[in-house]
Amino acid sequence: MSAVHVLNGPNLNLLGKREPGIYGSATLDDIRAQLDERCRAKGVSLVFKQSNFEGDLVTWIQEAGAAGAPVILNAGALTHTSIALYDAIKGAQASVIEVHLSNVHARESFRHHSYISPAARGVIAGFGPLSYLLALEAILQNI
C-alpha cells in the first residue's frame, strides 16, 4: 500500500467551530496532521480531501478504488442520503472504512441509517478525532 485516502464530506470544513459539544474542538487540519504523522512513520502517503459536493466524493472514491488504495470516509450527512456513494464504493470495488466523530446511533433517528455501511469494510463512530486514527490503524494492520 502506497497511499491512504481520507475523504470528508459536507460541513466537515467547519470542524472546531460547528457544534463543538457534539463534534469537539479539533479542526480538520488537526485531524489531517495526526494522520499524516502516523502515515509518515509507516512510510505511507496520505491523500486528504474535503468537499461539500457529493460528486467530488464519488469521483475520489472511484479514483481510490482504481488505484487499489484504502479509503477512510466521513461522508457527513451524505451518509444518510447518498445511494451514489454506495454505488461508487461498490462499482469501484473500493475498500472503505466509514467513520463518524459522533455516535450517530445516540443522535436523531434519521442519522441511524447509513447507505454506506453495507458497502463498507467497517464502521467506527463516536470517538471524535480518534475515530480516524482507529480506522487508519485498522488499515495499517491490513484488516
Selected catalytic residue, list 5, 23, 86, 115: 23
The reply to whether 5 belongs to the active site is no
Tell me phi and psi for residue 61, to 5 degrees. -65, -45
23 is catalytic: yes
Instruction: State the catalytic residue, choosing from 5, 80, 86, 100.
Output: 100
Q: Using 50, 70 and 90 to split pLDDT, how confident is the model at 107?
A: low
**Per-residue confidence (pLDDT) for residue 111, from 0 to 100:** 63
| Secondary structure E strands in the chain | 3-8, 45-50, 71-74, 96-100, 122-125
- 93 pLDDT more than 80: yes
The per-residue pLDDT for 106 is 61
Could you report the per-residue pLDDT of 2-42, keeping only the tens digit for each? Answer: 999 999 999 999 988 876 676 677 899 999 999 999 999 99
